[in-house]
Amino acid sequence: MVDPQEEITERRPTNYSRWHRKALPEWCYMTDGDWFEQRVIEGELRSVAYIETIEIEEPGEGNKSHPLWKSKEALCLEIERKMGIPAYVVWHNSACDDFLVQRITEATPRRMNRGEYMEFIKNLGRQIR
């Protein structure tokens, strides 16, 4: 059994998630997802990648102390498998100038500065066009 994640930042609205966790049985999971990168491809808006973001002070190897919860990991894997798009976990600092990017199916993350990460984002979906 996986314990549900509790709100730890105290910075976002959590009324629904608190209600869900208290009112429903423990086997009813609720996992919020972060972002879908989308592009207009052949005149249609399509998802090209899913990104789960985690803000931490220093994204380096410190990501080990801020792992994905099992439910978010399962969500990322399901999105990759069912939608056929890559799913990434991105640890970043509050200034958004230091990023650690890891595809959910790969073992090694890649560190990027702001410019590198912007290019990474802009290039998502190019292989589909």
Q: What is the pLDDT of residue 49?
A: 97
Report how far residue 83's alpha carbon sits from residue 98's, in angstroms, rounded to the nearest whole number.
28
Report how far residue 70's alpha carbon sits from residue 66's, in angstroms, rounded to the nearest whole number.
12
Please check whether residue 17 is in contact with residue 32, taking contact to mean a CB–CB distance below 8 angstroms. Answer: yes
Q: Of the candidates 57, 45, 71, which has an alpha carbon nearest to the alpha carbon of residue 128?
A: 45
Q: What is the mean pLDDT of each run of 10 residues along the chain (129 residues)?
A: 51 75 86 91 94 82 61 92 96 92 92 96 80
Q: State whether CATH 3.40.50 applies to domain 34-123.
A: yes
The continuous run of DSSP H or E covering 115 comes out as helix 114-123
Please check whether residue 29 is in contact with residue 74, taking contact to mean a CB–CB distance below 8 angstroms. Answer: no
CA 10 from chain centre, in angstroms, equals: 19
Q: Of the candidates 98, 104, 129, 92, which has an alpha carbon nearest to the alpha carbon of residue 116?
A: 98
- Domain locations in the chain? 34-123
Q: What is the pLDDT of residue 18?
A: 81
Q: What is the pLDDT of residue 1?
A: 43
Report how far residue 66's alpha carbon sits from residue 63's, in angstroms, rounded to the nearest whole number.
5
Q: What is the pLDDT of residue 72?
A: 86
